[in-house]
Amino acid sequence: MSTCSVSKGCFVFKPSPKKRRVSKKTANDFRGGNNDSEDTDLRFVICQSLWKQVKSETEQIQEDLNKQLFDNLVSFLRRSHSEFQEKTTKWTCWMKSREIPTAALVLGVNVTDHDLTFRSLSEVLQNSITPYIALLEAKDCPGIKNLMQKLMGQLMNCSIDVNSLEDEDYVQVSQNRIRCSMTSLINWYESVTKQTSSKKTDSETPSKKRTSSSRQWQSPPVVVIFKDMESFTTKVLQDFIVISSQHIHELPLVLIFGIATSPMIIHSLLPHSVSSLLCIELFQSLSCKDHLSTIIDKLLLTAQFPFKLGEKVLQVLINIFLYHDFSVQNFIKGFQLCIVEHFYSQPLSVLCCQLVDAKKKVNYFSHNQCENIRRLPSFRRYVESQASEKQIALLTVDDFLKETTQKLLEDLHVYHENYVSVLRCLHVLTSSLPKYPLGKQIRELHCACLENQVWETEEYESSLQLARMLNKSDLVTMLQRCVEIFVSSSGKEFGKTVEKLKEFLTQFQKLEVAEAFQEQDVSVSSQKELQKTTDLYHLQKTLLELKESRRSKKLSKFEMLRSEVVDYIDSLVRSYLVPADHKTLHEVVYFNTASVLREHLNAAPRIALHTALNNPYCYLKNQALKSDGGSISNKAPDICIVYKLHLECGRLINLVDWLEAFSTVVMAAEGSNADGASSDQVDDIIHARFIRAVSELELLGFIKPSKQKTDHVARLTWGGC
């Protein structure tokens, strides 16, 4: 092979210029090695439809969550624009002090989500404020020349002049080359605004000009967004701010700093002489944890989407979010992977759709699809719990199986509706308890309920004990929220539950009235008793009575009613919060294969590197690279040969011996090719290939130079993978 050796170069294979078609080929790939291909195309269509719905819902959630933030930013830009437009006193002060209006946008540490936020922000600003927006990243702006070139290139919507790589002072606009400077930018801005104003004068009536939107103003602001402000070089930021402040009276510039850590980073990066040139206003985005809670609430704790995640799978996605990147977008991509894997690996996922459609599809099931239902572990448990006659019918008669399956699917749908309502009710009760035994977020409670029977856990018992000590106001507030949850629920079984909770609320109100009258009576009687029992004898007698009453304490009416409320909610939990894997046919809608998710999302670079270097056939798929476990293929890439040779060495590796072993293996592969060249040339080539392979191995972190012996290297890894 001409590309078998890493030392010979890196090769790029360009894709075909033809437009990719995803219909038939993707469906065939989706089928894979699955023998049951009767409904593969239908599963593929359902999978695509479900993902489109999920994607649309997540985008709407993102838009709703960012709406308040974007509205505040738009208001800020409008104020700064109007002040420049009208030359108000405030803008005059800005001109005198050369202050630049600046928005410090704190987005949080979920850096991978920032790109989507800035793209959405750019669209909002272009639609409502200004067409002149530039998005700058630190990697593209190592110097002030690069920054100005990137800025002018985006604002002018032009290409960068690549004819002269040494000259970074120009950008190419049509046939002209414009110097990258603030003066050129101002001249361009004045010419553009004059052209737009003259066009509007010719095309608009005076009434239209008076009622024009903010985007149609004569001098729209120029917005420069620094997406990753912390990554910018201090010198670059300082120079740009100082230069811009000197021209703020000519160019309505507004800066937006994207900040991942804290607003104090502005004062850490910029000295006071530079930061004083900025008129900073702080904007805070929604916490990524709150965003995740909203996503889980809208995607999983709802009957809108039939697809569900098992406890282990959900825990894997949440752990990646909490301990790796805090990225909601990565969580959604993991959710998408779960959808694809579920519809790919589960033949009965064709029923993972709305209840009405699932019932219709069951009627057209073939015998093989009916056998797939009979193979489900949950269905086997269901069959074992039935009478013998029904067992025979379920295992032999397809029509009876279809009728039973429709009923079980309906029961599963009702279970999900009831589960969500009771889960929210339990969360209302436990989220306000001290130390949060069942978690503060509803996702923690959801995972606990999916894992096992939550009422058998110690955390649940401690939660009930704490709930039996709630005061009246908290308990009444909790009951009112539970009533709202059950009233808005789609479940049909909670009519009596709502009546019972309202009855509890009525009893609490009656207790308040009774206690008010009782306090009045006690206050009158206590004044009379005080007049009679002022002597020592009656005081001692009263103390003895108090001690006896504490020993044999009787529950008050409020305590009895509070205990009754907690017991009633406990009964709801035991009835409706049964783990999903206890329900029949849960495999149809639940994805539980956490190992597949870990394999795709949890990177294991050490194992992958060892596999690639020890067995290159695993990735290259070249038959010539196949070899026995202990042997070294002489046709393998150089780095693979060097790696397998170094596995046979100890802690210190002699470079001379290593080179001789490498030369022996390589010469067996060269064979007749080496006859035409001199032995010195062959040795030089082999020596160069060896040095390159060893350098690559050092770059990967397997070896390092040793200070003990100059002609040795130290091995950094031991054993296999």
Q: What is the pLDDT of residues 592-616, one digit of tens each?
A: 999 989 888 887 788 888 888 888 8
- Which tokens is 223 given? 């917005």
Pair 428, 420: CB distance under 8 Å: no
* pLDDT > 60? residue 168: no
Q: What pairs with residue 225 in β-bridges?
A: 135, 256
Contact indicator for 581, 378 with CB cutoff of 8 Å: yes
Residue 18 has pLDDT above 70, yes or no: no
Q: Quickly count: other Cβ atoms within 10 Å of residue 720's Cβ.
A: 8
Between CA 428 and CA 134 the distance in angstroms is 46
Domain-located, residue 432: no
Which 8-state DSSP code applies to residue 705? E
* pLDDT recorded at residue 639: 92
Quick one: residue 603, left, alpha or beta (phi over 0 = left, psi -120 to 50 = alpha)?
A: beta
Least confident of 41-45, 386-390, 498-502, 607-611: 607-611
Question: Are 310 and 580 spatial neighbours (Cβ–Cβ below 8 Å)?
Answer: yes
Give, for 65, the enclosing helix (H) or strand (E): helix 40-86
Closest CA to 265 of 106, 73, 72, 69: 106
Q: Which of 33-37, 386-390, 421-425, 608-612 has the lowest mean pLDDT?
A: 33-37
pLDDT of residue 28: 62
- 198 or 361: whose pLDDT is higher? 361
Locate 304 and state its tokens.
């809108």
Average pLDDT of 618-633? 77
* pLDDT over 60 (residue 9): no
pLDDT, tens digit, for every residue of 77-93? 888 766 555 555 554 55
* Tokens 């010198």, located at residue: 235
CATH for 125: 3.40.50.300
The residue behind tokens 């073939």 is 366
Across 576-707, the runs of DSSP E, i.e. the strands, are: 590-591, 652-654, 703-705
Cα–Cα distance measured from residue 67 to residue 71, given in angstroms and rounded to the nearest whole number: 6
Q: What is the pLDDT of residue 608?
A: 85
Q: What is the pLDDT of residue 1?
A: 41
Token pair belonging to 383? 């069959």
> What does the pLDDT read at residue 528?
52
Amino acid in position 610 = H
CA–CA gap between residue 577 and residue 418 (Å, rounded): 8
| Position 254 confidence tier, pLDDT thresholds 50, 70, 90 | very high
Q: Which residues pair with 160 in a beta bridge?
A: 171
In this predicted structure, which of 97-106, 226-235, 540-549 has the lowest mean pLDDT?
Answer: 540-549
Decide which of 270, 285, 300 is a domain's last residue.
285
CA dist., res. 479 & res. 482, Å (int): 5
pLDDT at 264 over 70: yes
What integer is the mean pLDDT of 330-353?
94
* Rounded-to-integer distance, Cα 638 and Cα 5, Å: 6
Residue 433 located in a structural domain: no
Q: Residue 87 is which amino acid? A: K
- Please answer whether residues 367 and 606 qualify as being in contact, where contact means their C-beta atoms are separated by less than 8 angstroms: no
Range with lowest mean pLDDT among 397-406, 469-478, 555-564? 555-564
DSSP 597-652: HHHHHS--HHHHHHHHHH-THHHH--GGG---SS---TTS-HHHHHHHHHTTS-SE
pLDDT at 209: 38
Q: How far apart are CA 56 and CA 66, in angstroms?
A: 15
pLDDT band at 208 (very low <50, low <70, confident <90, very high): very low
Range among 189-203, 269-283, 626-640 rated most confident? 269-283
* Positive or negative torsion for Cα 46, 51, 57, 59: negative
Cβ atoms of 301 and 423 within 8 Å: the answer is yes
Strands (E), 611-715: 652-654, 703-705, 712-715
Closest CA to 711 of 648, 655, 657: 655
Whether the predicted pLDDT of 16 surpasses 50: no
Cα–chain center distance at 424:
23
Could you tell me the pLDDT band of residue 163, with boundaries at 50, 70 and 90?
very low
Highest mean pLDDT among 43-52, 525-534, 545-554: 43-52
* pLDDT at 684 > cutoff 60: yes
Examine the pLDDT at 524 and tell me if it is beyond 80.
no
Whether residue 400 is contained in a domain is answered as no
Question: For the residues 683-696, what does the mean pLDDT come to?
Answer: 91
* Res 410 pLDDT > 80: yes
Higher-confidence position of 517 and 307: 307
How many other CB atoms sit within 10 Å of the CB of residue 284? 14
296 domain residue, yes or no: no
CB neighbour list of residue 401: distance below 8 Å, 6 or more residues apart = 370, 373, 374, 393, 394
pLDDT at 519: 54
Query: 277-281, 515-519, 555-559: which has the highest mean pLDDT?
Result: 277-281
Q: Is residue 418 part of a domain?
A: no
**CA 439/CA 435 separation, integer angstroms:** 8
Mean pLDDT of 8-31: 52
Cα 74 from chain centroid (whole Å):
26
Count of CB atoms within 10 A of residue 137's CB? 16
Confidence label for 20 from pLDDT (cuts 50, 70 and 90): very low
Question: Distance between CA atoms of 476 and 542, rounded to whole angstroms?
Answer: 35
pLDDT tops 50 at residue 453: yes
pLDDT band with cut points at 50, 70 and 90 for residue 721: very low
Q: What is the pLDDT of residue 621?
A: 82
pLDDT at 214 (0 to 100) = 42
Among 25-29, 304-308, 410-414, whose mean pLDDT is lowest? 25-29
Q: Please, how many CA atoms are within 13 Å of residue 424, restricted to the half-sphere of its CB?
A: 21
Host domain of residue 645:
605-715
pLDDT at 672: 47
Q: Total domain count for the chain?
A: 2
Please, which pLDDT band fits residue 184 given cuts at 50, 70 and 90? confident
How many H helices and E strands in the chain?
Answer: 30, 13
User: What does the DSSP 8-state code read for residue 323?
Assistant: I
What value does the mean pLDDT take over residues 537-555? 65
pLDDT above 90 coverage of the chain, percent: 50
Beta carbons within 8 Å of 50's beta carbon, 6+ residues apart: 305, 306, 307, 339, 352, 353
Asked whether residue 74 is domain-assigned, the answer is: yes
Residue 172's DSSP bridge partners are: 159, 177
Q: Would you say the C-alpha torsion 332, 335, 341, 342 has a positive or negative sign?
A: negative
Cite the beta strand spans of 548-675 per DSSP E: 590-591, 652-654
**Distance of alpha carbon 337 from its chain centroid, rounded?**
13
Among the residues of 346-470, which ranges form H helices? 355-363, 367-375, 377-384, 388-396, 398-430, 442-451, 458-467
The answer on pLDDT for 216 being more than 50 is: no
Q: Distance from CA of residue 318 to its chain's centroid?
A: 9
Q: Is residue 442 part of a domain?
A: no
**Sorting pLDDT into bands at 50, 70 and 90, what band is 33?**
very low
Q: What percent of the chain has pLDDT over 70?
A: 78
CB 60 within 8 A of CB 295: no
**For residue 561, is it within any domain?**
no
Residue 603's pLDDT is: 76
Range with the lowest mean pLDDT among 1-5, 104-108, 199-203, 405-409?
1-5
pLDDT band at 579 (very low <50, low <70, confident <90, very high): very high
What count of Cα atoms within 13 Å lies in the side-chain half-sphere of residue 369? 19
- Strand order across the beta sheet in which 159-160 lies: 159-160, 170-173, 176-179
For tokens 């702080």, the residue is: 282
Q: What is the mean pLDDT of residues 139-150?
A: 90
227: buried, middle or exposed (CB in 10 Å: 19+, 13-18, 0-12)? buried
How confident is the prediction for the chain on average, in pLDDT?
A: 82
Mean pLDDT of 441-465: 93
Q: Are 104 and 266 in contact (CB under 8 A)?
A: yes
